[in-house]
């Protein structure tokens, strides 16, 4: 399964200790690189990959560390080659309107969600341009495309990721390098669950949320991983600068 579209190629996935990143690593990185700031979770992901065979490795990486990201990408490219970079690591925040969001929350969310993606692209692009191949997939969000109340800082960063991806695609296209984003709706991960935990009645809040989706359920990390695998594969060889929405129909209802 993991290598179906990606056999023999190396993908580096950030934030791969859990959730969407872990599912993506399982899907893509059977011969690739699992990274995360969470060493324990990263090793768990690696163990899952090793169970399925393959020759992957785990590297501890905080995406906000520009120098560390550059070093990691350069080492991976030199040792294994670098065919795909999935900038998945991201964080949410407590629900808060614009005027209720404190400066430190805003800074932290921008650091991880925006600068983390920037750092990854900044590190990978010179290598991919020089080799005249490679693909970047950035994990944005539906929150980057539509207005979501009390997700102000998060939506600011995810909207930025969607448009930054277009710019990267335009700059890198002439070198044979593609860049796309995925824009998932609500996905069942720790980050998703945290959204309900803050509510008075989490079960009711969850049921209300599910009811708003035409498919009447929330998404699964594996469904996002499949979309990322598509965008990273040659099957998407003419797709670049795109923001692929995976939201069970939420945004068109
Ligand atoms: P998660 O919380 O389950 O996993 C996020 C992973 O990123 C964790 O392993 C965490 O350790 C890692 N991480 C956090 N900060 C990091 C840093 N500075 N450097 C490296 N790794 C770091 O979250 P989930 O849901 O899997 O989210 C993955 C991506 O998908 C994020 O960018 C998120 O914004 C996005 N997303 C999630 C949705 C959801 O409903 N779960 C919906 C739309 C987008």
**Site to substitute for ligand 1 among 12, 13, 14, 21, most atoms within 8 A of C-beta:** 21
Residue nearest to atom 44 of ligand 1 (CA): 141
Ligand 1 centroid vs 161 CA: distance in angstroms? 14
Question: What is the pLDDT at residue 83?
Answer: 97
Expressed in angstroms and rounded, the spacing between residue 62 Cα and the centre of ligand 1 is 12
Residue nearest to atom 34 of ligand 1 (CA): 90
Q: What pLDDT does residue 200 have?
A: 87
Q: Tens of pLDDT along 28-61?
A: 977 789 999 999 999 999 999 998 887 899 999 9
Q: What is the pLDDT of residue 115?
A: 98
3-state secondary structure of 119: helix
36 lines ligand 1 (CB under 6 A): yes
Q: How far is the CA of 174 from the centre of ligand 1 (A)?
A: 31
The per-residue pLDDT for 1 is 35
239 Cβ neighbours under 8 A, 6+ residues apart: 178, 180, 231
Count the Cβ atoms, other than its own, within 10 Å of residue 86: 32
User: 142-174 pLDDT, tens per residue?
Assistant: 999 999 999 999 999 999 999 999 999 999 999
What is the value of pTM for the model shown?
A: 0.97
The answer to whether the CB of 32 is under 6 A from ligand 1 is no
Q: Of 154, 175, 213, 250, which is the active-site residue?
A: 154
H helices of the chain, in order, are 19-28, 39-51, 66-80, 103-109, 116-131, 152-172, 190-197, 202-211, 221-232
Q: Is the CB of 87 under 6 A from ligand 1?
A: no
Q: Give yes or no for residue 62 CB within 6 A of ligand 1.
A: yes
| pLDDT of the residue at 29 | 73
| Closest ligand 1 atom, residue 42 Cα | 9
Above 90 in pLDDT, residue 193?
Answer: no
Quote the pLDDT of residue 2. 45
- C-alpha 106/C-alpha 84 separation (Å) is 29
**Average of per-residue pLDDT values in the chain:** 95
139 in contact with ligand 1, CB cutoff 6 A:
yes
Q: What pLDDT sits at residue 88? A: 98
Q: What is the pLDDT of residues 67-105, one digit of tens each?
A: 999 999 999 999 999 999 999 999 999 989 999 999 999
Does ligand 1 have an atom closer than 6 angstroms to the CB of 17? yes
List, in order, residues 6 or more apart from 216 with CB less than 8 Å away. Answer: 210, 248
User: What tens digit of pLDDT does each residue of 194-220 get?
Assistant: 888 878 899 999 999 999 999 999 999
* Residue 154 designated active-site: yes
């Amino acid at each position: 399964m993991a290598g179906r579209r990606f056999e023999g190629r190396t993908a580096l996935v950030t934030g791969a200790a859990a959730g969407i990143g872990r599912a993506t690593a399982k899907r893509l990185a059977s011969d690739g690189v699992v990274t995360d700031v969470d060493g324990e979770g990263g090793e768990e992901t690696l163990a899952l990959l090793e169970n399925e065979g393959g020759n992957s490795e785990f590297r501890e990486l905080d995406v906000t560390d520009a120098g560390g990201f550059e070093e990691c990408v350069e080492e991976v490219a030199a040792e294994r080659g670098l065919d795909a970079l999935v900038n998945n690591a991201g964080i949410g925040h407590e629900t808060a309107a614009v005027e209720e969001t404190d400066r430190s929350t805003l800074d932290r969310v921008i650091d991880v969600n925006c600068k983390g993606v920037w750092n990854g692209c900044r590190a990978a692009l010179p290598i991919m341009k020089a080799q005249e191949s490679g693909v970047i997939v950035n994990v944005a969000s539906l929150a980057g495309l539509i207005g979501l109340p009390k997700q102000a800082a998060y939506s600011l960063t995810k909207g930025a990721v969607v448009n930054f991806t277009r710019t990267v695609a335009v700059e890198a296209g002439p070198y044979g390098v593609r860049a796309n984003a995925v824009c998932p709706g609500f996905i069942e991960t720790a980050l998703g669950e945290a959204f309900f935990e803050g509510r008075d009645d989490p079960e009711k809040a969850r049921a209300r949320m599910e009811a708003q989706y035409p498919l009447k359920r929330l998404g699964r990390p594996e469904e996002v991983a499949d979309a990322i695998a598509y965008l990273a594969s040659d099957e998407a060889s003419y797709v670049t600068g795109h923001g692929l929405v995976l939201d069970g129909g939420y945004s068109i209802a």
